[in-house]
Amino acid sequence: MRVFGASFLAVLMMACGGGETSSTPAPATPAAPATTNSSNEPMTFAAQVAAGQKLYGEQCASCHGSSGEGAKAPRVVGMDKGALPLAPPPSAKARKGEFRTAADVAGFVVKTMPPKAPGSLPESDYWAILAFDLHANGVDLPKKLDASNASEVVLHP
């Protein structure tokens, strides 16, 4: 069982940056392992985080802030600053249960997000967005996040 404390949770979200280009071709390197399958579903946690970053921007940032800092909706990044608390905050309208594990967060998110169309995203999109949020909070996993391992990712022991 993995437990992640506040010391891991100060990681800030990073935007993709461009690098310098060169007219000299890079030396050939072995092909990287596949990061998506034939349905374009991420196969690794890193690929899932990358997909989740894009999806977060499209589906979540307008309410939760571009860096997860909270805007019209609660903070999702900065667990040491109140993001994803164990108990629902007193002001919570939809949330009633605890966020002890990533599975608890996933169960809530699938049923309630996005607010105007709950449950409308493909399941893999919800897992990718959650992987991105967890990564932004300092959580890195050896394999992609899904229903088979989410209960092992303990946010609050």
Checking if the pLDDT of 59 tops 80, the result is yes
Checking if the pLDDT of 29 tops 90, the result is no
Of residues 38 and 56, more confidence is placed in 56
Mean pLDDT for the chain overall: 81
The first and second tokens of residue 134, run together, are 């967890």
The pLDDT value recorded for residue 35 is 66
Helix axes 45-59, 123-136, angle to 10 degrees: 100
The pLDDT value recorded for residue 3 is 52
Longest dimension (CA), the chain: 59
Of residues 125 and 37, more confidence is placed in 125
On whether the CB atoms of residues 52 and 58 are closer than 8 A, the answer is no
Q: What is the spatial distance between Cα 101 and Cα 92, in angstroms, rounded to a whole number? A: 18
Residue among 138, 7, 137 at smallest CA distance from 68: 137
Q: Please tell me the pTM assigned to this model.
A: 0.77
